[in-house]
Amino acid sequence: MNIIEILIKIFQESGFAGLIEEPRSLVMILLACFLLYLGIRKKYEPLLMIPIAFGILLANLPRTGITDGLIHYLSLGVEYGIYPSLVFLGTGAMTDFGPLIANPSSLLMGAGAQFGIFTAFLMALALGFEPNVAAAIGVIGGADGPTAILTASKLAMDYLPAIAIAAYSYMALIPMIQPPLMRLMTTKKERETVMKQARSVTKTERIIFPIAVTIFVVLLIPDTAPLVGMLMFGNLLKETGLTDRLSDTAQNGLTNTVIIFLGISVGAKAAAQTFLTLRTIEIIILGLIAFSFSTIGGLMLGKIMYRVTGGKVNPLIGSAGVSAVPMAARVSQMEGQKANPSNYLLMHAMGPNVAGVIGSAVAAGFMLKMFGG
């Protein structure tokens, strides 16, 4: 064997030769680089976009065998729905349900903002998706990444990367997607509405809330247990004031670790053969429709509450019902201040915002019950 033969052998066994055999991998590598650009340069949900994009990159570099080893084992956490539930544990530990407890009527706006889930579900069916896949696509409208991933992992594993990327991309684009709809759906007078401060919430209420919600919601829809149960467990750790170490771990170390595993596993599922299809483009478009209709649903409920309360509720807080904590609430705050500089809607918008988290978990539980087999 001479030097030339050795070099040829090295090249033939290299990833470059693999790219020639499977040129679609090159497209996926370019896509991964584009998503990394969005995450790093444009700061689109970088905490998840970067791990997902890097997962796509690793999985599509030919001949590495990584998807049979490390990635395979990391992916078990996605397949069994472990990571999204653990992310919810951290989310619960980071969330203050006080604004919701103080103003429970905001639950209605959280419910209205799930409208997009069911609209997108119907549209996906009309496009010929299987009912279980349509259900998973619809959940993108909940604007809740872990919920969308959990539902997709149970109902539509092949479409998981497209659904996850759509969900996180649109969550990052909320400041661009929502404001035009908010201005379209509301009058200037409605946007100028200044809301009264809600009542204070006692520590006892804060402690009882997660326990009561867990018992009630999980008893009614047991499929919500992994999400609602973990969300409320995390919140209880925070509110008792006796488990600060556990709460701190849930908020920081655990969540960060799980996000790394979750992101890279989801990204690695995006193989060229399954990802580069027309279906992926359809899912991305349906995701945008789901998001938009959820925003409209929340705003509609906001407008109804504005009328019912005689102008005491600013309908802009309705759009925060799409979950995406706290970005959606910030958008309500910004739009409210644009209409009336003395308007501080942030805390009011947090009510529908966290209600949306519960609402999307319930909607996902419903879809899992209907199509989970």
Q: Is 66 in the site for other proteins (CB under 8 A)?
A: no
Using CB under 8 A as the binding rule, whether residue 235 contacts other proteins is answered as no
107, 133, 152, 283: which one contacts other proteins (CB under 8 A)?
A: 107
Candidate ranges 98-106, 161-169, 185-193, 309-317; the one touching other proteins (CB under 8 A): 98-106
Residue range at the interface with other proteins (CB under 8 A); choices 33-41, 280-288, 305-313, 353-361:
353-361
Which span (33-41, 104-112, 151-159, 161-169) binds other proteins, by CB under 8 A? 104-112
Cβ partners under 8 Å of residue 351, min gap 6: 99, 100, 102, 103, 104, 106, 107, 109, 110, 198, 317
Report d(CA 137, CA 214) in Å as an integer. Answer: 26
Torsion angle, alpha carbons of 316, 358, 139, 295, to 10: 0
Stretch that binds other proteins, among 24-32, 52-60, 308-316, 347-355 (CB under 8 A): 347-355
Q: What's the DSSP call for residue 43?
A: -
DSSP code for 319: G
For position 100 contacting other proteins by CB under 8 A, the verdict is yes
Burial track 147-157 (b if 16+ CB lie within 10 A, e otherwise): bbbbbbbbbbb
Question: According to CB under 8 A, which one of 237, 313, 350, 368 is a site residue for other proteins?
Answer: 350
Nearer to other proteins, 32 or 137 (CB): 137
Does the protein bind other proteins through residue 61 (CB under 8 A)? no
Q: What 3-state class would DSSP assign to 98?
A: helix
Give least dist CB 344 to other proteins, A: 5
* Residue number, 190 or 239, with CB nearest to other proteins: 239
- Give least dist CB 56 to other proteins, A: 24
> Which of 98, 161 has the CB closer to other proteins?
98
Residues 6+ apart with CB under 8 A from 348: 99, 103, 106, 195, 198, 314, 317, 332
Query: Segment near other proteins (CB under 8 A), from 5-13, 49-57, 69-77, 325-333?
Result: 325-333
Whether the CB-CB separation of 260 and 51 falls below 8 Å is answered with yes
* Selected binder of other proteins within 105, 249, 257, 274 (CB under 8 A): 105
Inter-CA distances, 321 with 100, 263, 316, Å: 11, 25, 10
Map 223-287 to HEC letters.
HHHHHHHHHHHHHHHHHHCCCHHHHHHHHHHHHHHHHHHHHHHHHHCCCHHHHCCHHHHHHHHHH
Interface with other proteins by CB under 8 A: which residues?
Answer: 47, 94-96, 98-101, 104-105, 107-108, 110-111, 114-115, 117-119, 121-122, 125, 131, 196-202, 204-205, 208-209, 212-213, 216-217, 220-221, 251, 326, 330, 333-334, 344, 346-347, 350, 355, 358-359, 362-363, 366-367, 370
